[in-house]
Chain A
Amino acid sequence: MAIVKIPPVLRAAVGGEKELSADGTSVGEILHSVAASHPETQSQLFGPDGGLNRYVNVYLNDEDVRVLDGLETSVGAGDTLVILPAMAGGAA
């Protein structure tokens, strides 16, 4: 069971929760588990090809899973997935 932190932009789709618990041993399994429980998140989390929505960043603890193994990235019990919208920075 992993903790999934939900950004403000997705909270309405999960009944206002700031975080959820979800089953799975990979990032993909966990996000699909979230989408199964909260169907409105499906089209926001995933693109038409089944991959991560381009404008969603998912972090395993604090590392971007796109730079790890994407949806295949292994997740251990007690890990936290953080979902964030892609935001511009400017200082660097």
Chain B
Amino acid sequence: MAAESLQNKPCGGRYGDIVQAIGHTPLVELKRLSPKPGVRIWAKLESRNPTGSVKDRVARALIEDAEEKGLIRPGQTILEPTSGNTGISLAMICGLKGYDLKVVMPRNVTPERTELLRMYGAEIVYSEGSKGSNGAVEKALDMAEKDASYYMPYQYGNQANPEAHYEGTALEILEELDEVAAFVAGLGTGGTLMGNGRRLKEELGDSVKIVAAEPMQGEPVQGLRSLDDGFIPPIIDLSLLDRKIFVTNYDAIVWTRKLLDEERLFAGVSSGAIARVAVRIAGELDEGNVVFIVCDDGWKYLSSGIYTRPVEEIEDLDSTVWW
């Protein structure tokens, strides 16, 4: 007897290896978070990528771009500054493809990131925690300048980063929704916002609002010597953004819990911040679809206790680089 045909296709698809399985993530409606009947909120679950974060798309694009341009060869060491997720994705891909990986990461990330990087075989170089991701970028650029044998994909300045979303994430969203009133994502390297923003504006016009949620780093992470230590990722084009809203670590964690408690969505801290902004934007609309990115799942944050303890009791709330 023939099996009944499936309603949801392509069931995630069939792929030759784990790298090819990156992307094709679900878009899930969060009805309980919607502030009014005509406004639908959709979560794009980038947490469903093979290493559990949106950075799988970026890491694959960075490596394939370098391969296509003949910039790397098996056995070469790849060097990259990251607050964790990009390093984990690169480590998985480099391991499969035969490249060595060295990541530069702030010391004050959650310990799970270190474990995952080691698990995938990456070498870790820590940068000063008080400088946040700026310190990791500075240190990696310095290392690359001193040793020409490294290849640094440099997600902050590499167009392959936004292209991964322009050619991937955004097309998947457009496949599912004919209309998008607002797209909300986190601002880190800028890749997610630039790539999705450009494609969505091209396809849907200026009516789609591109909204950035960005971390308000706690004071212990603002340890710059001067403003000249500030950093603006070269791939960011602010003119593409309609709104740019910061979210404190406290609010990000409150909303990460809200995603869990109200929608049973187990997500990382940046996704809580993005959800908070998405719900605010939804409240300003009369109708339409609001799409937001769930950057990663919650596994990498479990040791911090944020899913079970009152937010007031979370240790190192302001001195941790959460995203």
Known: A44-B227, A55-B228. A88 touches B188 (CB 8 A): yes
> Do residues A89 and B227 form an inter-chain contact, with CB atoms below 8 A?
no
Of the residues A8, A67, A87, contact of B244 by C-beta under 8 Å: A67
* Complex alpha-carbon distance, A81 and B189, angstroms: 24
Per the 8 Å Cβ criterion, residues 3-59 of A in contact with B are 7-10, 44, 53-56, 59
User: Is A90 close to B, CB under 8 A?
Assistant: yes
Residues of A in contact, count (CB < 8 Å): 25
Residues of A within 8 A of B (CB): 7-10, 44, 53-56, 59, 62-64, 66-67, 82, 84-92
Per the 8 Å Cβ criterion, residues 181-195 of B in contact with A are 185-189, 191-193
> Do residues B186 and A92 form an inter-chain contact, with CB atoms below 8 A?
yes
> Do residues B241 and A8 form an inter-chain contact, with CB atoms below 8 A?
no
Distance to closest chain A CB from B235 (angstroms): 12
> Do residues B222 and A87 form an inter-chain contact, with CB atoms below 8 A?
yes
Interface centre among B221, B233, B238, B246 (most CB of A within 10 A): B246
Inter-chain contact count A-B, CB under 8 Å? 128
Which residues does chain B contribute within 8 Å of A62, judged by CB atoms?
216, 245-247
Which residues does chain A contribute within 8 Å of B243, judged by CB atoms?
63, 67
* Complex alpha-carbon distance, A91 and B272, angstroms: 13
Which residues does chain A contribute within 8 Å of B289, judged by CB atoms?
none
Distance to closest chain A CB from B236 (angstroms): 10
> Do residues A92 and B222 form an inter-chain contact, with CB atoms below 8 A?
no
> Do residues B186 and A88 form an inter-chain contact, with CB atoms below 8 A?
no
> Do residues A64 and B323 form an inter-chain contact, with CB atoms below 8 A?
no
* Complex alpha-carbon distance, A64 and B134, angstroms: 19
State which of B78-86, B92-100, B116-124 sits at the interface with chain A.
Answer: B78-86
> Do residues A89 and B244 form an inter-chain contact, with CB atoms below 8 A?
no
Q: Which 6 A/B pairs are nearest by Cβ-Cβ distance?
A: A55-B230, A89-B188, A92-B186, A90-B83, A91-B323, A64-B244
Known: A89-B323, A92-B185. A59 touches B246 (CB 8 A): yes
* Complex alpha-carbon distance, A54 and B246, angstroms: 18
Known: A62-B245, A67-B243. A88 touches B231 (CB 8 A): yes
> Do residues B222 and A85 form an inter-chain contact, with CB atoms below 8 A?
yes
> Do residues A88 and B132 form an inter-chain contact, with CB atoms below 8 A?
yes
User: Is B114 close to A, CB under 8 A?
Assistant: no
Chain B residue nearest to A45 (CB atoms) is B227
> Do residues B189 and A86 form an inter-chain contact, with CB atoms below 8 A?
no
Which residues does chain A contribute within 8 Å of B177, judged by CB atoms?
none
* Complex alpha-carbon distance, A66 and B240, angstroms: 12
Chain A residue nearest to B225 (CB atoms) is A9
Which residues does chain B contribute within 8 Å of A7, judged by CB atoms?
219, 222
Which residues does chain B contribute within 8 Å of A82, judged by CB atoms?
216, 246
* Complex alpha-carbon distance, A62 and B244, angstroms: 8
Known: A89-B215, A91-B295. A66 touches B83 (CB 8 A): no
Distance to closest chain A CB from B246 (angstroms): 5
> Do residues B296 and A67 form an inter-chain contact, with CB atoms below 8 A?
no
Known pairs A8-B223, A84-B222, A90-B189 / 6 extra A-B pairs, C-beta < 8 Å: A9-B224, A55-B231, A67-B238, A85-B222, A89-B83, A92-B323
Which residues does chain B contribute within 8 Å of A67, judged by CB atoms?
212, 238, 241-244
Distance to closest chain A CB from B183 (angstroms): 12
Known: A90-B86, A91-B268, A91-B270. A9 touches B238 (CB 8 A): no
User: Is B259 close to A, CB under 8 A?
Assistant: no
> Do residues A89 and B222 form an inter-chain contact, with CB atoms below 8 A?
no
Which residues does chain A contribute within 8 Å of B156, judged by CB atoms?
88
Chain A residue nearest to B247 (CB atoms) is A62
User: Is B5 close to A, CB under 8 A?
Assistant: no
